[in-house]
Amino acid sequence: MASQDHKIFVDGMTCTNCSLSVRKKLEKSGYNKVSVNLTNGETRFSSEGEIDIQAVCQEIDNIGFTARIVEDREIKKNPLVIRFFIGLPFTLVLLVHMFLPMDHWLNNPILQFGLATPVLVIGWIQFGKGAISSIKNRMANMDVLILSGASAAYFYSIYGSFFIAGSSHQYLFFETAATIITLVMVGNLIEHYSVQKTSSAIDALKGFQAMDAKILRGGKINLIDLNQVMVGDTMYINSGDHIPCDGEIIEGEGAINESMITGESLPIYKAPGSHIMSGTLVAEGNFQVKVSRVGTDSTLSKIIKLMEDAQGEQAPIQALADKVSGVFVPVVLGLSLLSFFLNYGIFDVALEDSIMRSIAVLVISCPCALGLATPTAVVVGIGKAAKAGILIKSAKILETFAKVKNIIFDKTGTLTNGEFIIQSFDFFKYEKARIETIIFTLEQHSSHPLAKAMVGLLKDSEMDPTLKQFEEKKGIGILCKDENGNNYSFGSFRLLKDHREDDTHFHLFLIENDRCIARIQLKDAIKNHAHEMLSYLNGQSIKSYILSGDQQSKVAELSKSLGINHFEAQLSPQDKLDFIKGYKKEGITAMVGDGINDAPALTLSDVAISFKQATDIAVHSADIVLLQENELNSLTEAHRISILTLKTIKQNLFWAFSYNIIAIPMASMGMIEPMAAALFMAFSDVVVVGNSLLLKIKK
């Protein structure tokens, strides 16, 4: 029986455990090749033969999510923000009582019960779905830990305050229940906005697709919907247009900016017979094009598909607390039960005291310090990075970047700043100033992007009024005559009649009466602090690579200049993805890029890094955005901050777990009274928060 592929959309997933629950549910139901994309909810799977897709959606609904068949879904507002701000005032008021005398009115148990109850309800609404689904799939996550701790503190407070006569104040742990829920929601808010930014990258990329095209139909040029364009149609494209479909030029010539696809820094001359790609930009010229690929076969559509696949393949890094929660939760629950049976069954402790000791184990195990360990360090780390001009979009990315083993760089706009400088300037007649005057005057009359760059480079030169009769030849250069009848031309190698042996290394030539009198070699300027940044990476035993769509000679020259031994040139977006998949097998891999062609590779990498001045697609795809233009030392700073933050998180977790290791046995033996336990818990919180704040002043 033939295998059939299916696609549904799942709403309500907020974390990696949610997507894992959906995947495990489908796999248990016998489906294969299950892929769940957390960022957009797209879920793919295959089955043997026909299935009832509505029944599949119902299975997903049964574990707490909402599955839909149609792709045209309503975008629901995430209620996390509203829930957080509803619960925050109640939590803040509850925390105030810890600093007040015992007879203060805020210590009234009924009042505290009233303040804590809405927060607990919000917590169950927010985390209950994830907790229940994780238990069903036998994967206890942080949601279980959060709710078990908060609920234990809440019900313990109710029992102690309302059912034990004369001792209500020493059982007040309502603020603990509320604080756990509120603090964890802060971390979830950070993650929510990170996911939102990531998913918008594909939408922004789709924005580059033209919605219509100028097509010759019935002897007239008509503007028709892109979906109606067919292979073989004649398409008209003008200067400044984004190319709607792949095709072959049948008439016209000019320059196409393909940097978004190939990484090539210079516009490419195109003439009849040349192939053009969708999504690229007409820098100069007008064309008639025979359409060769449409729809999902076009170059830009394939890049979008690559990016969607890369998002689906990306394995999110779990936060350290989540990694241990699967063990911590059942261990604590087991210790609580063990405490009861040992006290009541073996040591003949009274039933009520045994129950109270068992509940005390849960209360003192409340993951308040554990919940603070990661968020407080991350908030300080992200703030420290922001002051250094580094935008870190995700809390988890700090941990991942600190462990990076490979960093892959694009060339143009990443290691170089995309601005041309003159590398070599040879002149064989006249003084250099005279040569520059002639070139400056000629380029003033050209609309080619390279001409504009040359005008900027020679801006201190003067115009030559003796030059007249300017004429621009597309793809060749600009021509003129002087008042004495001498012919001058400046442009590409096509102007040359006699070639020197090393002319191939030069980009532009000045010709006087068929004789070359000057030649210029251009190159992208290397960004500031590139050498220092690479030296730092080498010192950290991090391997550096260049993957570029640019020409082999240019990439090789840059690699040699920067001391990078590993590079690949003339790569397509698919080639870059294949290389990154290989590098990821060796260790955590980061990608630094700035163009549309880098977007799929950025998405597939473990850490995506881009720049403020990069394309919107690259910025949306990035986990880390460097805000200082043309400054690579901020990449070094981002890595240093990530290492410091991860170190702080580990220290915080050490203190949090040390507290539990010491306090749980003492609570089980009845050695810690509830008030002492509260002080013990507060002390662990102070240590964790204080250690996180020290990160601010660490160099």
Catalytic site residues?
410
Minimal CA–CA distance to 575: which of 262, 348, 231, 107? 262
As a whole number of angstroms, the distance between CA 620 and CA 651 comes to: 32
Instruction: Centre a 10 Å sphere on the Cβ of residue 667 and count the other Cβ atoms it contains.
Output: 29
Residue whose entry in the numeric block shows the structure tokens 């090539």: 264
Q: Measure the N-to-C terminal CA separation of the chain; round to a whole number of Å.
A: 63
Concatenated DSSP letters of 646-680: HHHHHHHHHHHHHHHHHHHHHHHTT-S-HHHHHHH
Sheet holding 406-409, edge to edge: 390-392, 624-626, 607-611, 589-592, 406-409, 543-547, 566-568
Q: Tell me whether residue 309 is exposed, middle or buried, using C-beta atoms within 10 angstroms of its C-beta: 0 to 12, 13 to 18, 19 or more.
A: middle
Per-residue burial over 25-42, b if 16 or more Cβ lie within 10 Å, else e, is bbeeeebeebbbbbbbbb
The CA dihedral of 239, 240, 246, 247, to the nearest 10 degrees, is 0
Minimal CA–CA distance to 371: which of 685, 13, 6, 54? 685
Helices (H), 239-367: 259-262, 299-313, 320-341, 351-364
As a whole number of angstroms, the distance between CA 630 and CA 699 comes to: 23
Residue whose entry in the numeric block shows the structure tokens 């009769």: 469
Minimal CA–CA distance to 574: which of 317, 301, 198? 301
As a whole number of angstroms, the distance between CA 66 and CA 136 comes to: 17
> Could you tell me which residues come within 8 angstroms of residue 686 by beta carbon, excluding any fewer than 6 positions away?
none
- Decide: 245 and 230 in contact? Cβ < 8 Å: no
> Could you tell me which residues come within 8 angstroms of residue 6 by beta carbon, excluding any fewer than 6 positions away?
44, 45, 46, 47, 51, 53, 56
Find the helix or strand (DSSP H, E) in which 254 lies: strand 254-257
270 token code pair: 């195109």
307 token code pair: 């990016």
* Cα–Cα separations (whole angstroms), residue 687 to 441, 652, 653, 690: 70, 8, 11, 5
Instruction: Centre a 10 Å sphere on the Cβ of residue 495 and count the other Cβ atoms it contains.
Output: 19
| 231 backbone dihedrals φ, ψ, rounded to 5° | -60, 135
Helix axes 395-402, 174-206, angle to 10 degrees: 80
As a whole number of angstroms, the distance between CA 393 and CA 633 comes to: 19
| 563 backbone dihedrals φ, ψ, rounded to 5° | 80, 30
As a whole number of angstroms, the distance between CA 667 and CA 673 comes to: 8
241 token code pair: 């247009």
Q: What string of H, E and C letters represents the secondary structure of 139-207? A: CCCHHHHHHHHHHHHHHHHHHHHHHCCCCCHHHCCHHHHHHHHHHHHHHHHHHHHHHHHHHHHHHHHHC
- Decide: 127 and 189 in contact? Cβ < 8 Å: no
